[in-house]
Amino acid sequence: MKEEIYLLFDQYLQGELSEKDRLDFEKQLSENAELKSEFETFKEVQLQLETKFDFAVDRETFETNLKNISRDYFKPKKAKLISMKPYVYMAAATVILLLGLFLFHPSEPKFEDYNQFENAYLTERGEGLELVKEAENAFNAKDYKRAIPLFEAVLKEKQSAEIQYFYGISLLENNRIKQAEAEFNQIKSGNSVYKNKAIYALALAKLKQKDYKSCKEILLEIPSDYEHYDKVQELLDKLD
């Protein structure tokens, strides 16, 4: 079996060597100071991965990539342990660490993962105006650009936290973020049933701007009895 020395180190640490190979490996560690130094370096690299990332969840991927790195960076050798020059081993260890950073570092949450807003059902609540119906249809079809002037026309006739909320969402989806935030802040200052929805939308506005600190601070304002608090908690966990 053709593997590089750091792959054997990993197999030893995972208890995957046979009893004979394990004893042989430990004997060589006791007799070869350079090999022992290389082994200690490998353990430090692996510890960093386990400490900073959930390294244990993807052992199979890690082992596969160890073999790929072995093939790409070194010529195959017999399974017998062969000492490597320290600078060569450190280069290999660096490759492994960078690979771990790439594979296991959780990416920041994205606005697109959380902008699944509810549909508007405005006409079901007594607003039997044709303009309201047009705005509702445009919003539910995700035609936010068309929905914006329709909501603006409706709001000129009648102020409503409900319509203002869906208007703010339309602005947010069209990257008119400052205007959207102004609408959400106005709803937030009131006591309508849309208050917590507006606070959550404000947090998503910060998420869209990649202002993760402000996003988290706003999310923490939302009470646990909010109907979609599971999404709040999920986003908070990803921001930690």
CATH assignment at residue 164: 1.25.40.10
Is the pLDDT score of 208 beyond 60?
A: yes
If asked whether residues 127 and 198 sit together in one domain, one would say yes
d(CA 158, CA 163): 9
If asked whether residues 149 and 48 sit together in one domain, one would say no
What does the pLDDT read at residue 59?
52
**3-state SS of the chain: helix, strand, coil percent to 5?**
70, 0, 30
Q: Which range is most confident: 10-19, 76-85, 183-192?
A: 183-192
Least confident stretch, 96-110, 184-198, 205-219: 96-110
Q: Which two tokens stand for residue 76?
A: 């195959």
Mean pLDDT of 163-174: 97
The residue out of 104, 121, 152 marking a domain boundary is 104
If asked whether residues 116 and 76 sit together in one domain, one would say no
If asked whether residues 33 and 53 sit together in one domain, one would say yes
- Dihedral sign for Cα atoms in the order 83, 88, 94, 100: negative
If asked whether residues 145 and 41 sit together in one domain, one would say no
3-state secondary structure of 11: helix
Is the pLDDT score of 213 beyond 90?
A: yes
pTM for this entry? 0.58
If asked whether residues 70 and 131 sit together in one domain, one would say no
Determine what percent of the chain is predicted with pLDDT higher than 70: 69
If asked whether residues 89 and 131 sit together in one domain, one would say no
pLDDT bin (cut points 50, 70, 90) of residue 60 is low
If asked whether residues 95 and 115 sit together in one domain, one would say no
pLDDT greater at residue 1 or residue 183:
183
If asked whether residues 235 and 133 sit together in one domain, one would say yes
The residue out of 66, 82, 104 marking a domain boundary is 104
d(CA 97, CA 196): 43
Q: Which amino acid is at 120?
A: A
Is the pLDDT score of 104 beyond 80?
A: no
If asked whether residues 79 and 142 sit together in one domain, one would say no
**Structural domain that includes position 145:** 111-239
If asked whether residues 64 and 129 sit together in one domain, one would say no
H or E, element range at 97: helix 86-104
pLDDT bin (cut points 50, 70, 90) of residue 28 is confident
What does the pLDDT read at residue 73?
43
The residue out of 70, 104, 138 marking a domain boundary is 104
If asked whether residues 62 and 171 sit together in one domain, one would say no
Q: In total, how many domains does the chain have?
A: 2
What does the pLDDT read at residue 62?
53
What does the pLDDT read at residue 223?
96
User: Taking a C-beta distance cutoff of 8 angstroms, is the pair 56, 10 a contact?
Assistant: no
Q: Which amino acid is at 129?
A: L
